[in-house]
Amino acid sequence: MSAEEPLLSVRDLRISFDGADAVRGLSFDVRAGEVLALAGESGAGKSLTARALLGLVPREARVRGTVRLRGGTELVGAPRRTLAALWGRRVALVPQDALSALSPVHPVGDQVAAVLRSLHGVSRREARDRAGTALDRVGIPAARRDAYPHELSGGMRQRAVIALATAGDPDLVVADEPTTALDPDLRDQVLSVLAERRAATGGALVLVTHDLEAVRDHADRVLVLYAGRHAETGPAASVLGRPRAPYTAGLLASLPPAVPVPGRGRRLPAIGGTPPAPGEPAAGCAFAPRCPLAEDRCRAEVPAPRPVGDPADGRDVSCHRAAELPHALGELFLEAA
Ligand SMILES: Nc1ncnc2c1ncn2[C@@H]1O[C@H](COP(=O)(O)OP(=O)(O)OP(=O)(O)O)[C@@H](O)[C@H]1O
As a whole number of angstroms, the distance between CA 240 and CA 192 comes to 20
Residue owning the nearest CA to atom 30 of ligand 1: 43
Inter-CA distances, 274 with 47, 48, 153, Å = 19, 19, 36
State which of 14, 48, 97 you would mutate to test the pocket of ligand 1, scoring each by most atoms of that ligand within 8 A of its C-beta. 48
Please give the Cα distance from 31 to 28 (Å, whole number).
Answer: 10
Mutate to test the pocket of ligand 1, among 42, 59, 225 (most ligand atoms within 8 A of CB): 42
Q: How far apart are CA 285 and CA 296, in angstroms?
A: 10
Rounding to the nearest 10 degrees, give the CA dihedral for residues 314, 318, 323, 324.
Answer: -140
Better-scored residue on pLDDT, 334 or 118: 118
CA of 172 to the centre of ligand 1 (A): 22
Atom of ligand 1 nearest to the CA of 277: 29
Q: What is the pLDDT of residues 13-70, one digit of tens each?
A: 999 999 899 999 999 999 999 999 999 988 899 999 999 999 999 999 999 999 999 9
Please compute the mean of the pLDDT values over residues 228-242 and round it to a whole number.
95
ipTM: 0.97
Q: What angle do CA 6, 242, 219 make, to 5 degrees?
A: 40
CB 47 within 8 A of CB 208: yes
Q: Whose CA is nearest to atom 28 of ligand 1?
A: 43
CA pair distance 76, 68, nearest whole angstrom: 8
Sorting pLDDT into bands at 50, 70 and 90, what band is 3? low
Higher-pLDDT residue of 197, 51 = 51
Q: E-assigned strands of 70-120? A: 91-94
Confidence band, pLDDT 50/70/90 cuts, at residue 336: low
Residues with CB under 6 A from ligand 1: 17, 22, 40, 42-48, 58, 60, 210, 278
Q: Which residues pair with 63 in a beta bridge?
A: 15
**Cα radius of gyration (the chain):** 21
Percent of the chain at pLDDT > 70 equals: 93
Residue 110 to residue 156: CA distance in whole angstroms: 15
CA atoms within 13 Å, Cβ hemisphere of 256 = 6
Ligand 1 centroid to Cα of residue 139, in Å, is 33
Which among 16, 21, 47 is the best mutation to test ligand 1's pocket, defined by most ligand atoms within 8 Å of the CB? Answer: 47
Q: What is the pLDDT of residue 187?
A: 87
Instruction: Give 46 Cα–ligand 1 centroid separation in angstroms.
Output: 8
Top mutation candidate among 13, 26, 46, 93 for ligand 1, by most atoms within 8 Å of CB: 46
Locate the ligand 1 atom nearest the alpha carbon of residue 49 and give its number. Answer: 18
| Ligand 1, atom nearest to 210 Cα | 25
Number of the ligand 1 atom closest to the C-alpha atom of 40 = 21
- 9 Cα: distance to centroid of ligand 1 (angstroms): 22
Band (82; pLDDT cuts 50, 70, 90):
very high
Q: How remote is the CA of residue 261 from the centroid of ligand 1, in Å?
A: 35
Ligand 1 center from residue 114 Cα (angstroms):
32
Q: How far apart are CA 51 and CA 175, in angstroms?
A: 9
At 104, phi and psi to the nearest 5? -75, -15
Q: What b/e readout covers 82-111, taking b as 16+ CB neighbours within 10 angstroms?
A: eeeebbbebbbbbbbebeebbeeeebbbbb
**Shortest-distance atom of ligand 1 to CA 51:** 18
Q: Whose CA is nearest to atom 6 of ligand 1?
A: 17
- Going from the Cα of 285 to the center of ligand 1, the distance in angstroms, rounded, reads 20
Q: Which of 7, 100, 4, 91 minimizes the C-alpha distance to 50?
A: 91
Nearest to 98 by CA among 185, 175, 209: 175
The string of pLDDT tens digits covering residues 253-309 is 877 655 444 444 434 356 778 888 877 766 899 999 999 899 999 999 999 999 998
What string of DSSP letters covers 111-175? HHHHHHHHHH---HHHHHHHHHHHHHHTT--GGGTT--GGGS-HHHHHHHHHHHHHTT--SEEEE
Closest Cα to atom 1 of ligand 1: 58
* Higher-pLDDT residue of 329, 145: 145
